[in-house]
């Protein structure tokens, strides 16, 4: 049985930052990831990272913008801390070696992003996630950390009221191992692949969130799912908000810059939920193009600006949509993009399970409340990745040795055998496709109660059918059928939590829009949704939102 | 078709047979070669590694010489083709242009950047054309299976060379067909011959050369043909070492491009300098029904 | 825009091999009806979903940024998520998919990238602190546009290993670190925040820098226009400028430079001496004799070109230029 002080699961920005913090504190750290760290979905983030660094901007404005962007469901104490940490965090990443875009004076370049009162989004062309991921990976290389690359998380073991470690398997051999650990940090990112129309990578299946949930961790605010307004029509590949930050505009089939009607002050740079709803409305009301989309126009920005500042999306547009943004508009429609919800933590990354931490998109602190501002996610990974690493490092100093039992490993081995031995059964990909269709159709931007109930019934039917899932590929090296099967189980669990939460919340707030409850209801619903795993399904409770200074107001852009 | 003829250093010396064959073929297909005794070496890629800017300037001078005569440049070496084309591309950068102009101006030289650089292979396939060549063939190379070996710098970087597809070129194979021979496709035809590291780590260079020749052979080639005399050095002059490196007697005749063309147009081996090769071309000539020439 | 396209029949021949089960590699044939702009990756995933769940490959983002899905498509290095099936079918009639080269096959299209990552790690790919210029407290460093520009496109690298797969020097010699590692080394050598430039250049000169063939196959294969061969060229020039002729490779380049200054055209025999020294030349004597027998003019000094004075003036004007590289 393997053993480390701290196991970090997920090697994107949050996971690597947590591992770095824990290693710097002198602990024996393992980093477990089902992909090579540089392949993590953090690398797909495009537009930028927020920090109020310039003299004209202020941390105060960043805090207010985030509080408002969250539609007042964000915890204001955490948001204050978060925004205060932003400047030092970005400076630290620059010192680690991150290559950012610069202004002529040599300082960090900044662009405007949705919902922001000031251009405070620091960027590296339109591949900021990649730049930061390279920066943290390079720095991490100076520490001694045990890397378990292409190891797949199966379960988090909790015994005697605290974390004892994880079980996982090496994808190259399909051998299941137990890794005993005093603390586990979940940083496995989102579960966007619950949806078919998602900007997320195929790997985004919420593994750590589901494992934490099954191990007794509370999930928070899962019903708040962000849809990004500008995803390519067919492939749902992300076209960064930065394109609008650089001056791109949205037009409908009548050639109208329709955002003027929905967000008269900031137009196309309103927050994402506002813009997404606007696009869906335009299409529903017949002002979209045949096939159901609107146009993102960049042509007026000129070839030079597009090809230098928006290099990657230029490439995406040409390669994946057959459109040259220099001369033609890009067809876009909203797609699932980010999960505001996740494993519930406080500002230190602590969950309700001693020894279990979470950070990044997998966690919900909550900074983003009901809707996230662009540029705040990259920041969150680093701020709370560090916090979780530091907190875990302190925790393990006073903890007894972990005990992982052979039975913990045997349980998973038996499960594998069952999946392989089944002669007939459901294919993982068929179940996944049905789940995705259900979520796309019924749990999207505009939520109808009948449709939500239908979705819940279908998810539960799929969970039932999942008991009969079989793995047709018997090879032990790099068995995707096997990992697909495990992932579908995670997706179903999380989908259930999302739908249950969406049914329960009878208001519209941020990204959660109920057609039967179109208004925000602060009196009854200014609270976080907490979901706890029970054998019968998620059990919901509610916790208060922390606020320090900003009274909820009507949210107008 | 009249060109400023840029033979490159090797064609003037150890690769003299290339120059011989070029002249023989040019005379017969109507290419007029104008010589310039003041052309300097293209740098071969090595000079570039010591001083890139100076390399551009030296080649800008070469290109200016052709420009002054109102002629485009004809190369017979993939490497020269690459280096001279690079110079034109580099000069599109304003900072480079300023420095080079600044160095040329005191010499009374000015270069507009417009001299076109073409390789004999391109002239034969684009300007003369495969059909016309087919019409001039007097001794079809029937029965000879030839693997083309393009040489890296003729094709890449593709966005600079603007020749044909760098991954799947076919001009040389088209020409081989027009000559009556059978082109052989094999992976190595667009790869490297190892020449650039021949004096850095010879065994590796030999291994690379041996690998490409073996590949051609495994696909049925009786002979290879190349438009680059540096490749020719690696593949022919050092074939003995290549054979040792891959543990196989390769015995592969390596023709220069114009030698292959010349044979089909009726030249004798002596006309084309074939006896100068380190690896005898007898076996290939025998396939064409010719008597072997004594070494 | 990809309007509603007519579906075409796409025949796939996909490399299958499981070393754990032994046997020989083979190609398995599949056929799908796909729109021409459909990426090969989508085709492979549909093969998995509809026809054969035993096929394995790496993939994740499907948007050409994670670097997982580099493979050979009709023998060409490609990110399969960004390779439409239409043009390949039009040109070749089918889609042959192979795993990348120069990396051992784990199973089917999945290769073992350990040697690739190891070579990258050998470059010390992290900022080495500069004791003369420590990081400023409480603020970022400043980087001028010229300094930023010097990175060229090396920050675009997604470590997909397509360059490594395409490289004949990697194929032939384990001493060569490969294009990606060297492009990353370049990124650190030109980083104004890094304090290890000289040490890095010194080290790489003796661990494979000069084995690069300048063949540009890596630049051709790279899906992100990093142009590693050109960055390697820059490294070579930086090394020569900073450290002179300490290795055969740098001696060859410097020898070439001096050689042309003398006569304007290459003196082949002299260059051999300049690169390899007297002993090296003596060692090469056997081969030299073989060559000289067939090509006796190699013994003579070639005729100096006309206008050599112009050449020498250009040398004077540009030999000390500080702004390197191009």
pLDDT digits (tens, 9 = 90+) for A301-327: 999 999 888 887 888 888 888 899 999
Q: Identify the residue among A107, A315, A420 best suited for mutation to test binding to C, counting C beta carbons within 10 A and taking the highest.
A: A315
Of A41, A138, A479, the CB nearest to C61: A41
pTM of the model: 0.94
- pLDDT surpassing 60 at residue B292: no
The pLDDT of residue B63 = 98
The pLDDT of residue C325 = 47
List the end-to-end C-alpha distance of chain A, in Å, as a whole number: 55
Q: Identify the residue among C257, C258, C259, C306 best suited for mutation to test binding to B, counting B beta carbons within 10 A and taking the highest.
A: C257
- pLDDT surpassing 60 at residue A445: yes
What are the pLDDT digits (tens) for B94-115? Answer: 999 999 999 999 999 999 999 9
How far apart (Å, rounded) are the C-alpha atoms in residues B155 and B147?
Answer: 17
Evaluate the CA torsion angle A214, A217, A221, A226 in order and state its sign: negative
What are the pLDDT digits (tens) for B233-288? Answer: 999 999 999 999 999 999 999 999 999 999 999 999 999 999 999 999 999 998 88
ipTM over 0.90: yes
How far apart (Å, rounded) are the C-alpha atoms in residues B146 and B96?
Answer: 42
- A362: Cβ–Cβ under 8 A, 6 or more apart, which residues? A10, A14, A186, A187, A188, A189, A190, A206, A208, A209, A342, A343
Q: Which residues pair with C16 in a beta bridge?
A: C26
Mapping DSSP onto H, E and C, the string for A419-438 reads: HHHCCCCECHHHHHHHHHHH
* C205-214: burial string, b at 16+ Cβ within 10 Å, e else: beebbbbbbb
At residue A296, what are phi and psi to the nearest 5 degrees? -105, 115
Q: What percent of chain A has pLDDT over 90?
A: 87
Q: Residue C49, SS3?
A: helix
Of C60, C108, C142, the CB nearest to A39: C60
Which residues of A are part of the catalytic machinery?
A: 272
The pLDDT of residue B294 = 45
Tokens of A35: 């992909």
Tokens of B253: 């005749």
What are the pLDDT digits (tens) for B138-192? Answer: 999 999 999 999 999 999 999 888 778 999 999 999 999 999 999 999 999 999 9
> How far C173 CA sits from the closest chain B CA (Å)?
6
CB contact under 8 A, C63 and A36: no
CB contact under 8 A, C155 and A311: no
Contact C42, C65 (CB under 8 A): no
Taking a contact as any Cβ pair under 8 Å apart, which residues of chain C between 101 and 140 contact chain B? none
Mean pLDDT confidence for A500-522:
97
CA-closest candidate to residue B147, choices B225, B252, B261 = B225
Neighbouring C-alpha atoms within 13 Å toward the C-beta of A489: 20
Q: Which residues pair with A401 in a beta bridge?
A: none
**Sheet strand arrangement including B254-256:** B182-184, B145-148, B223-226, B254-256
Taking a contact as any Cβ pair under 8 Å apart, which residues of chain C between 196 and 255 contact chain B? 210-217, 219-220, 227, 229-230, 233-234, 236-237, 240, 247-249, 252-254
> How far C183 CA sits from the closest chain B CA (Å)?
16
How far apart (Å, rounded) are the C-alpha atoms in residues A457 and C1?
Answer: 38
- pLDDT surpassing 60 at residue A423: yes
CB contact under 8 A, C173 and B201: yes
- A542: Cβ–Cβ under 8 A, 6 or more apart, which residues? A527, A528, A529, A530
Q: Sorting pLDDT into bands at 50, 70 and 90, what band is B293?
A: very low
Neighbouring C-alpha atoms within 13 Å toward the C-beta of B32: 5
Contact list, C194 vs chain A (CB under 8 Å)? 97
CB contact under 8 A, C21 and A475: yes
Contact list, B207 vs chain C (CB under 8 Å)? 172-173
Contact list, A333 vs chain C (CB under 8 Å)? none
- pLDDT surpassing 70 at residue A55: no
The pLDDT of residue A56 = 67
Q: What is the length of chain A?
A: 557
Taking a contact as any Cβ pair under 8 Å apart, which residues of chain A between 229 and 248 contact chain C? 234-235, 237-238
B148 sits in which H/E element: strand B145-148
* Vertex C215 angle, CA C212 and C217, to 5°: 105
Q: Identify the residue among A10, A202, A318 best suited for mutation to test binding to C, counting C beta carbons within 10 A and taking the highest.
A: A202
Mean pLDDT score of chain A, rounded to an integer? 95
Question: Which residues of chain C have a pLDDT value below 70?
Answer: 1-4, 321-326
- A523: Cβ–Cβ under 8 A, 6 or more apart, which residues? none
The pLDDT of residue C278 = 74
B226 sits in which H/E element: strand B223-226
Taking a contact as any Cβ pair under 8 Å apart, which residues of chain C between 13 and 72 contact chain B? none
- A126: Cβ–Cβ under 8 A, 6 or more apart, which residues? A46, A47, A240, A242, A243, A309, A310, A311, A312, A313
Integer Rg of chain A from CA: 22
Cis geometry, peptide bond prior to residue C325 (ω within 30 degrees of 0):
yes
The pLDDT of residue C326 = 40
Q: DSSP alpha helices (H): ranges in chain C? A: 40-46, 85-92, 114-121, 145-150, 162-166, 168-172, 179-189, 197-205, 217-221, 228-243, 248-263, 268-283, 285-294, 308-318
Q: Identify the residue among C77, C98, C242, C256 best suited for mutation to test binding to B, counting B beta carbons within 10 A and taking the highest.
A: C256
CA C215 to chain centre: 8
Contact list, B211 vs chain C (CB under 8 Å)? 168, 171-172
CB contact under 8 A, C56 and A141: no
Contact A431, A205 (CB under 8 A): no
The pLDDT of residue C322 = 64
The pLDDT of residue C56 = 98
Mean pLDDT confidence for A431-458:
97
Q: What percent of chain A has pLDDT over 70?
A: 99
Q: Residue A84, SS3?
A: helix
CB contact under 8 A, A138 and C56: no
At residue A425, what are phi and psi to the nearest 5 degrees? 170, -165
**Sheet strand arrangement including B32-35:** B32-35, B2-6, B72-75, B117-119
CA-closest candidate to residue B75, choices B146, B153, B132 = B153
Contact B20, B271 (CB under 8 A): yes
Contact C123, C181 (CB under 8 A): yes
Of C20, C66, C143, the CB nearest to A43: C66
């Amino acid at each position: 049985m393997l053993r480390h002080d701290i196991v970090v699961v997920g090697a994107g920005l949050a996971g690597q930052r947590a591992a770095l913090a824990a290693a710097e504190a002198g602990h024996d750290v393992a980093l477990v990831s089902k992909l090579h760290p540089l392949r993590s979905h953090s690398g797909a983030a495009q537009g930028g990272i927020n920090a109020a660094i310039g003299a004209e901007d202020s941390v105060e404005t960043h805090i207010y913008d985030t509080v408002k962007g969250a539609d007042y469901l964000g915890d204001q104490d955490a948001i204050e801390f978060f925004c205060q940490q932003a400047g030092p965090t970005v400076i630290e990443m620059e010192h680690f070696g991150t290559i950012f875009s610069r202004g002529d004076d040599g300082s960090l370049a900044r662009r405007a992003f949705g919902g922001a009162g000031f251009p405070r989004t620091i960027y590296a062309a339109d591949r900021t996630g990649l730049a930061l991921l390279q920066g943290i990976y390079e720095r991490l290389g100076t520490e001694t950390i045990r890397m378990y690359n292409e190891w797949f998380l199966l379960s988090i073991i909790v015994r005697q009221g605290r974390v004892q470690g994880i079980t996982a398997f090496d994808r190259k051999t399909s051998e299941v191992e137990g890794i005993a650990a005093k603390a586990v940090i979940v940083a496995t990112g989102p579960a966007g692949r619950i949806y078919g129309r998602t900007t997320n990578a195929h790997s985004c299946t919420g593994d750590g969130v589901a494992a934490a949930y099954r191990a007794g961790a509370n999930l928070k605010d899962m019903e708040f799912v962000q849809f990004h307004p500008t995803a390519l029509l067919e492939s749902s590949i992300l076209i960064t908000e930065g394109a609008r930050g650089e001056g791109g505009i949205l037009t409908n089939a009548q050639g109208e810059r329709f955002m003027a009607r929905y967000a008269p002050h900031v137009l196309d740079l309103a927050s994402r939920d506002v813009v997404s709803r606007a696009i869906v409305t335009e299409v529903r009301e017949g002002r979209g193009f045949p096939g159901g989309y609107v146009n993102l126009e960049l042509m007026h920005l000129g070839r030079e600006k597009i090809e230098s500042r928006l290099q990657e999306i230029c490439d995406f547009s040409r390669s994946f949509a057959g459109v040259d943004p220099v001369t033609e508009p890009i067809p876009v429609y909203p797609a699932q993009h980010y999960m505001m919800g996740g494993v519930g933590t406080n500002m230190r990354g602590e969950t309700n399970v001693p020894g279990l931490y979470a950070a990044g998109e997998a966690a919900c602190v909550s900074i983003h409340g009901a809707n996230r501002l662009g540029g705040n996610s990259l920041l969150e990974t680093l701020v709370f990745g560090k916090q979780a690493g530091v907190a875990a490092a302190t925790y393990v100093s006073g903890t007894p040795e972990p005990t992982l039992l052979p039975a913990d490993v045997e349980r998973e081995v038996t499960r594998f055998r069952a999946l392989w031995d089944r002669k007939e059964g459901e294919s993982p990909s068929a179940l996944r496709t049905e789940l995705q269709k259900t979520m796309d159709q019924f749990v999207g931007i505009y939520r109808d109660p009948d449709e939500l109930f239908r979705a819940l019934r279908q998810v539960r039917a799929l969970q039932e059918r999942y008991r009969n899932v079989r793995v047709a590929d018997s090879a032990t090296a790099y068995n995707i059928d096997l990992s697909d099967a495990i992932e579908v189980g995670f997706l179903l669990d999380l989908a259930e939590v999302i739908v249950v939460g969406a049914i329960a919340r009878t208001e519209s707030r941020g990204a959660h829009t109920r057609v039967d409850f179109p208004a925000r209801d602060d009196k009854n619903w200014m609270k976080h949704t907490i979901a706890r795993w029970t054998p019968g399904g998620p059990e919901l409770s509610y916790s208060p939102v922390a606020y320090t200074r900003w009274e909820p107001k009507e949210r107008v852009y | 078709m009249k060109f400023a003829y840029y033979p490159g250093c090797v064609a003037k010396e150890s690769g003299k047979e290339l120059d011989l064959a070029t002249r023989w073929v040019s005379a017969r297909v109507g290419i007029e070669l104008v010589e310039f005794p003041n052309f300097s070496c293209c740098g071969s890629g090595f000079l570039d590694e010591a001083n890139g800017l100076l390399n551009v300037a030296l080649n800008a001078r070469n290109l200016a010489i052709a420009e002054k005569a109102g002629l485009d440049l004809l190369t017979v070496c993939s490497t020269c083709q690459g280096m001279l084309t690079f110079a034109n591309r580099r000069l599109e950068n304003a900072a480079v242009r300023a420095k080079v102009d600044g160095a040329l101006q005191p010499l009374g030289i000015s270069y507009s950047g417009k001299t076109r650089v073409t390789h004999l292979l391109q002239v034969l396939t684009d300007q003369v054309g495969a059909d016309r060549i087919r019409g001039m063939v007097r001794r079809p190379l029937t029965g000879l299976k030839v693997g083309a070996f393009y040489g890296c710098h003729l094709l890449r970087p593709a966005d600079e060379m603007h020749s044909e597809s760098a991954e799947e070129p076919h001009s040389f194979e088209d020409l081989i067909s027009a000559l009556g021979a059978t082109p052989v496709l094999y992976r190595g035809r667009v790869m490297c011959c190892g020449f650039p590291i021949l004096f850095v780590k010879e065994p590796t260079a030999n291994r690379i050369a041996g690998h490409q020749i073996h590949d051609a052979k495994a696909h049925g080639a009786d002979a290879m043909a190349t438009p680059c005399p540096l490749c020719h050095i690696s593949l022919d002059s050092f074939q003995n070492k290549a054979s040792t490196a891959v543990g196989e007697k390769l015995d592969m005749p390596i023709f220069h491009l114009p030698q292959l063309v010349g044979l089909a147009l009726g030249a004798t081996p002596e006309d084309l300098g074939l006896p100068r090769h380190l690896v005898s071309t007898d076996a290939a000539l025998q396939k064409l029904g010719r008597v072997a020439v004594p070494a | 825009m990809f309007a509603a396209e007519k579906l075409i029949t796409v025949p796939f021949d996909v490399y299958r091999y499981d070393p754990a089960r032994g046997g020989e590699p083979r190609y398995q044939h599949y056929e799908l009806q796909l729109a021409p702009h459909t990426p090969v990756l989508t085709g492979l995933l549909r093969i998995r979903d509809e026809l054969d769940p035993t096929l394995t490959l790496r993939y994740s983002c499907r948007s050409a940024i994670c670097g997982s899905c580099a493979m050979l498509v009709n023998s060409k290095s490609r990110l399969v998520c960004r390779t439409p099936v239409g043009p390949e079918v039009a040109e070749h009639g089918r889609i042959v998919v192979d795993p990348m080269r120069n990396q051992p096959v784990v199973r089917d299209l999945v290769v073992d990238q350990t040697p690739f990552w190891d070579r990258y790690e050998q470059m010390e790919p992290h900022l080495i602190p500069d004791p003369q210029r420590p990081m400023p407290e409480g603020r970022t460093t400043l980087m001028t546009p010229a300094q930023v520009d010097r990175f060229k496109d090396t920050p675009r690298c997604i470590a997909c290993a397509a360059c490594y797969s395409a490289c004949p020097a990697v194929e032939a010699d384990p001493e060569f670190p490969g294009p990606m590692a060297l492009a990353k080394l370049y990124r650190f050598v030109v980083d104004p925040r890094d304090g290890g430039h000289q040490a890095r250049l010194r080290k790489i000169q003796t661990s494979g820098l000069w084995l690069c063939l300048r063949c540009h196959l890596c630049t051709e294969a790279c899906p992100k226009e990093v142009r590693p061969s050109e960055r390697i060229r820059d490294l070579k020039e930086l090394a020569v400028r900073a450290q002179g002729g300490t290795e055969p490779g740098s001696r060859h380049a410097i020898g070439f430079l001096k050689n042309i200054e003398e006569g304007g055209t290459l003196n082949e025999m002299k260059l051999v001496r300049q690169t390899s020294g007297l002993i090296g030349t003596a060692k090469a004597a056997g081969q030299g004799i073989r060559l000289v027998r067939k090509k006796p003019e190699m013994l003579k000094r070639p005729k100096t070109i006309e206008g050599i004075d112009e050449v020498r003036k250009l040398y004077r004007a540009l030999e000390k230029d500080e702004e390197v590289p191009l």
